[in-house]
Amino acid sequence: MKPMNSKRVETKDLKNRLSRNFFFAKDKKLRTLNPVKYFFVIGSSKFLLDNEPLEEILRERIQQYAREKKTIDFWIIKSPKFLNSLDLIDVKNKLTKDGLGKAELSAIVSLDEVFIKWMKLRLQNVAESNFMVFANDNDIESPLASENL
């Protein structure tokens, strides 16, 4: 016999799973119904992590989200795997043309298009693009994965 509050726990667990920072649905049915669009800026790790005040920018953004009681919807990814997608070949070619073909790259990825456009204006020396993740798309299985892991 299940405890009386088991339904409440299951509902709470589902709510937690859906509101996590990681919005990539592992359940393929859910991804089919709700494809997720990710926006990103990408540049050399050295530039983003050493030459720009990225920590300060993101700390302020986190404080803003806390004030608004908003879930964090952005991530920093070193050597992002999604860049290997055939859909992003133009971005990869642009980075190679800009001399970053062999450099270690880092990306700031978000579900918020306005935030990424603002980051592009703020950082300038980065490429900006986006991609969609669908359940039946094996090209990008894990949008927040790193080549280093």
Give DSSP secondary structure letters for the chain: ---TTHHHHHHHHHHHHHHSS----SSHHHHHHS-EEEEEEEEEHIIIIIIS-HHHHHHHHHHHHHHTT----EEEEESBGGGGSGGGHHHHHHHHHTT-SSS-EEEEEES-HHHHHHHHHHH-SSEEEEEEE-TT--SSS-TT-BTT-
Please provide the average confidence, as pLDDT, over all residues in the chain.
80
Token pair, residue 49, equals 């992590």
Residue 142 falls within a domain, yes or no? no
Q: What is the pLDDT of residue 138?
A: 60
- Looking at per-residue pLDDT, the higher value among 59 and 31 belongs to 59
- Over residues 8-41, the pLDDT tens digits come to 434 344 334 433 434 444 444 444 557 889 999 9
Residue 5 falls within a domain, yes or no? no
Q: What is the pLDDT of residue 147?
A: 84
Look at the chain and report how many structural domains it folds into: 1
137 confidence band (pLDDT: 50, 70, 90): low
Rounded Cα–Cα distance for residues 111 and 108 (Å) = 10
- Over residues 118-135, the pLDDT tens digits come to 999 999 889 999 999 886
Does residue 4 carry a pLDDT above 50?
no
- Looking at per-residue pLDDT, the higher value among 115 and 10 belongs to 115
Residue 19 falls within a domain, yes or no? no
CATH value at residue 71: 3.30.70.1860
Residue 124 falls within a domain, yes or no? yes
Give mean pLDDT, residues 128-143: 79
Q: What is the pLDDT of residue 46?
A: 93
Predicted TM-score (pTM) of the model is 0.73
Does residue 72 carry a pLDDT above 90?
yes
Residue 10 falls within a domain, yes or no? no
Residue 77 falls within a domain, yes or no? yes
Give mean pLDDT, residues 85-111: 92
> For 65, phi and psi rounded to 5 degrees?
-60, -40
Residue 9 falls within a domain, yes or no? no
Domain encompassing residue 85: 24-133
Residue 11 falls within a domain, yes or no? no
